[in-house]
Every structure is written in C-alpha cells, then in structure tokens.
Amino acid sequence: MRKFLLTTALATTLVAASLLSFAPAQAAEKIYLTSPEGEQLFHDADITMDYLKLASFLESEHILTFCGPATIAGVMNSLDVERPQPPQLYPWRLFTQTSIFTPENQAVKPYPQVEHDGLVLPQLATFFQNLGVKAEFHHADEFTEEWLRQTITDVLADPNRRFVANYSRQPIGQEGGGHISPVAAYDVETDRALVLDVARYKYPPVWLTIADLHKAMMDKDPSSDRSRGAVIVSQ
C-alpha cells in the first residue's frame, strides 16, 4: 500500500511538472502612467528630468508605421538644436514627421518605404545623425540588463542626451509588433523605466521593468533579421 501511495505521488509530481513546463510565460507587469500606481511611481521616481521636455513635444504617429518618425521629431524638438521651418508652420520652427525626411534621409529610406514598413534600428540612428545630432545604436543581443539599466540612468541624468527604445509589444502583452518610443524616466526602487508611447491613441506611457524592456528589445526584427535595441542620441 505504501509503495502504491509513493508511486501515485511521484506520478502526480511528474504530471504537475510537465504541465508547468508547458505553461505560458508570465506576462510583463505593466504599470500605465495614467493609473494611480503609475502616478505614484512618477512622483517617487529618481530620474524624471527628461519627462517634461519629451512630453511637451511628443506627438502621436501619423500612421501605424511612423513610430520612428514620430519619435525622431519629438526627441529632436526636445533638444537644444536648431529646428527647421516647415512652410505650413511659417514663421514657426519645428521638426515634424514629414520635415525629418531631408534629402539625406530620403536616401537612407524614402518616405513611401517608411510608410510601408517603418525604420530598422541602424536606419533610425542614421536619420538622427543626418539631422545634426550624434546617435549610436546597440542591438539588444549585444548588451545585458545591467548595461541597459546603467545606460538608461546615465542618459536620463544628462539633459543633452536621449534614450530611444526599439522593442516589440508582444513580449510585454500589448497588441502589435515592433515599436519605437523614447524613455523619459527611471525609478530605482522598482527598477522600472517609463516609455512614452508615440502611439498615444493606443496606449498611455508605461512603466516597464528593465528585465521586461530588455526582453522586448531582444525580439528579432524580421526586416533586419537582428534583435531590436536602443539608440542613444546626443546633441
């Protein structure tokens, strides 16, 4: 009888372990800025100096594939650099999602092609460079969570630099695929970064753990067959 009970218990354990191995991965613990918890996180966050500048100029992507141009325009406007003078806004100066398509950037990837399938990580960095700022890109499979954490804190502490994330929505439980948006704040205690989503019609800014953000960046971009990653912009 005892042998039977032990055998039954072992079988139950093996079944449970088997079921556990096929269980879906735990979803990212998203905290949206518009929630009470998200607001409190922002109030308590250690590094928020980029938020006001970025939020002041952040705009929604014009179309689903324009997360790159929307991010570029918002980041460029948040920096202390000379802005173009679009005819439709005369006499005011502003980077827009169309004015960033200078002849140099059209040579990198023409407007119609960006409309079709967006920008990959190296193209994103080159667009920034052609607009007169420094930009370096890093694929996520080349850096660790610790590097990501340290880089975000270093960049956000410098008023002349910006951190742009290229990630996939799917690993963090959002609808859609690849996406690009700037990071505007970091909270040490919860180890979360605030991503200002440029699809403002779709999602509000979201606090993601560094681990979840890195996982989302590790997703392979089918357009480049490389992992996604980050662009560090410096004026």
Query: Residue 8: inside a domain, yes or no?
Result: no
Backbone φ and ψ of 8, nearest 5°: -65, -40
Query: Residue 11: inside a domain, yes or no?
Result: no
Amino acid found at 38: G
pLDDT of 27: 59
Sole residue written with tokens 């928020």: 48
Query: Residue 6: inside a domain, yes or no?
Result: no
Residue 173 confidence (pLDDT) above 60: yes
Mean pLDDT of the chain: 90
Contact 216, 25 (CB under 8 A): no
Q: Which two tokens stand for residue 148?
A: 């990501």
Query: Residue 206: inside a domain, yes or no?
Result: yes
Angle at 227 between CA 95 and CA 165, to 5 degrees: 35
Contact 181, 231 (CB under 8 A): no
- Range(s) of the domain holding residue 201: 29-234
Residue 39 confidence (pLDDT) above 50: yes
Query: Residue 5: inside a domain, yes or no?
Result: no
| SS3 (DSSP) at 78 | helix
* CATH assignment of the domain containing 118: 3.90.70.30
Query: Residue 212: inside a domain, yes or no?
Result: yes
What is the domain count for the chain?
1
Query: Residue 209: inside a domain, yes or no?
Result: yes
Query: Residue 7: inside a domain, yes or no?
Result: no
Contact 69, 100 (CB under 8 A): yes
Angle at 66 between CA 165 and CA 80, to 5 degrees: 60
Q: Buried (b) or exposed (e) across 124-139, using 16+ Cβ within 10 A?
A: bbbbbbbbebebebbb
pLDDT tens-digit readout, 77-125: 999 999 999 998 999 999 999 999 999 999 999 999 999 999 999 999 9
Instruction: List, as own/partner pairs, every contact residues 147-152 make where C-beta atoms lie below 8 angstroms and the sequence separation is at least 24, other chains included.
Output: 148/210, 148/213, 148/214, 148/217, 148/230, 149/191, 149/210, 151/230, 151/232, 152/183, 152/186, 152/193, 152/210
> Comparing 25-34, 55-64, 120-129, 183-192, which segment has the lowest mean pLDDT?
25-34
